Amino acid sequence: MDGQAERYQGIVDAEKYDGRSNVIRAIEAPETARRELRTLADATREAQRWLERWAGEPFAYLTTIGRRTRRPHRIEIWFGVEDGRLYLLAGGRERSDWVRNLHANPQVTVELGDETHAGMARVLEAGTDEDQRARELLVAKYRQGDDLDEWGRTSLPIVIEFSADGDPPSDLRPSSSRRHAS
C-alpha cells in the first residue's frame, strides 16, 4: 500500500470504529456520495417548491394524530409560506385541540391543492424573529382592514418543516373523502 492508500485506510478503519458509515462511503466511492448528496439536495428543493406552488390557496388541511384516540384529526386552517416552511397561528393557543395533538406527536401532514406532504410541527419561541415573521405573513395574507391585528398579536405561532421525501406516514394519509376526522 502506498502512503496515500495507507492514510485513507487509516481513516476508513477509524471511521468504522466510530460508526460513521457515510464518511466511509464518501471515501470509498466519492462520486457515488456526491451523486447521493445532489439527489438529496434536489429532493429537498422540490419539497420546498411544492409549498410555493400552493402558497396562494386560501387554506390548507392539517392532519394531526389525536393525543388520546391516536386517530387522524383533520382541520382546515389558514397558513403562510416562506423559505420552505409552513406557518400557522392558533387563535385558541394551547387550548386548541390540534395544538395539544401536535405537542403529543409533532408528525403532521399538510394537504395543499392535490398534494399531501409529511412534516414536523413545533411551536415557535415567543419573541424570536421567526415568531414575528410568522405573524406578519398570516396577517398580511388574510387581513381586510384592521380586523386581524389582535389575532396576529395573541395567537400561538406554529411552524411545520418538511422532509425531502415528503411521504406521509401511513397513519396520517388522508382518506379519499374530505370529511374531518375526530
Nearest CA among 70, 88, 71 for reference residue 79:
88
Give 111's pLDDT tier (boundaries 50, 70, 90): very high
Q: Measuring CA to CA, which residue among 43, 79, 75 is closest to residue 59?
A: 79
152 and 74 Cβ atoms separated by less than 8 Å: no
Which residues lie below 8 Å from residue 12, measured CB to CB, with a gap of 6+? 24, 27, 28
Domain locations along the chain: 3-53, 55-172
**Candidate CATH numbers 2.30.110.10, 3.30.930.10, 1.10.10.10, 2.60.40.420; the one for domain 55-172:** 2.30.110.10
**Residue 62 pLDDT class (50, 70, 90 cuts):** very high
State the pTM of this model: 0.68
| Coil/strand/helix, residue 144 | coil
CA dihedral 180, 140, 125, 55 (to 10 degrees): 50
Mean pLDDT of 175-179: 39
Dihedral Cα 89, 104, 86, 143, nearest 10 deg: -10
Produce one character per residue of 2-36: b if its CB has 16 or more CB atoms within 10 Å, e if not: eeeeeeeeeeeeebeeeeeeebbebeeeeeebeee
Q: What value does the mean pLDDT take over residues 6-30?
A: 48
Per-residue pLDDT for 10 more than 80?
A: no
